[in-house]
Amino acid sequence: MEVKGASLDHEELFHLALQASSTGDHDKAIRYLKEGITLSPTAKFYYILGAQHAEIGMFDRAVEEMTKALELDGSMHTARFQLGLLQLTMNDVDGATLTWSGLDQLQDQDSLKLFKMGILTAVTGDFAKALELANKGIENNLENPALNKDMSNLIERWQGFLEDSDKELIATEAESSSKEAIDESKNSNHFFLSAYKDDQTD
């Protein structure tokens, strides 16, 4: 029998949104998240809502919501990293660089700091140095296998350019290749949800 008058609290809504997202039901996930924000406008709601909008191609709205999440909780470092990746796929290298400047406070051997340094180095066309930084980041990242998988996709692309001795790259071509590889990896749920799993807060 249905219990009349019962309503879902913000934690129930959040977990239902994650469940819907994991099955690709973005419509339902977005509805749960928007309802949850009316009850508890916290960073995790805004971040996952932004992730849903990114996955359905509403990138401007996704950037706005992820930025809001970081304003509410600047300690979501993995979310900050992935927001920068999203900006890079939108041809906003300056925006990504600014977003990632918030990672400069991390230790030099922190995987996120190494990853962002590697990507920005690849954008300049220095794939050898980019590979060194990204591989070191993967070696140091023991907490987030999903993120390592995404970075491995980038590394594979960069390695291909190094091995192709007949291809000369200029900076704009290097930037394009990095963005294409990032765009391919961000089309899966684990790309965005890994940020919540790594940075989750109550």
Q: What is the pTM of this model?
A: 0.78
pLDDT confidence bin for 195, thresholds 50/70/90: very low
Tokens at 46, concatenated: 């805004």
% helix / strand / coil in the chain, to the nearest 5? 75, 0, 25
Tokens at 99, concatenated: 């977003």
- Indicate left, alpha or beta for 71 from its phi (over 0: left) and psi (-120 to 50: alpha): alpha
Tokens at 187, concatenated: 């089309």
Report in angstroms the alpha-carbon separations of 132 from 11, 23, 174: 41, 36, 16
pLDDT confidence bin for 1, thresholds 50/70/90: very low
CB contact set of 42 (below 8 Å; sequence gap of 6+):
10, 72, 73, 201
The 10s digit of each residue's pLDDT in 165-193 is 445 544 455 555 555 555 555 554 444 55
Give the DSSP letter of residue 75.
T
The 10s digit of each residue's pLDDT in 18-58 is 999 999 999 999 999 999 999 999 999 999 999 999 999 99
CA torsion sign, 79 to 67 to 72 to 29? negative
Give the residue from 125, 53, 109, 112 showing the smallest Cα distance to 85.
112
Gap between the Cα atoms of 169 and 190, Å rounded: 31
Q: How many residues appear in the chain?
A: 202
Q: Please give the CATH number for the structural domain made up of 9-75.
A: 1.25.40.10
CB contact set of 174 (below 8 Å; sequence gap of 6+):
122, 123, 124, 125, 127, 161
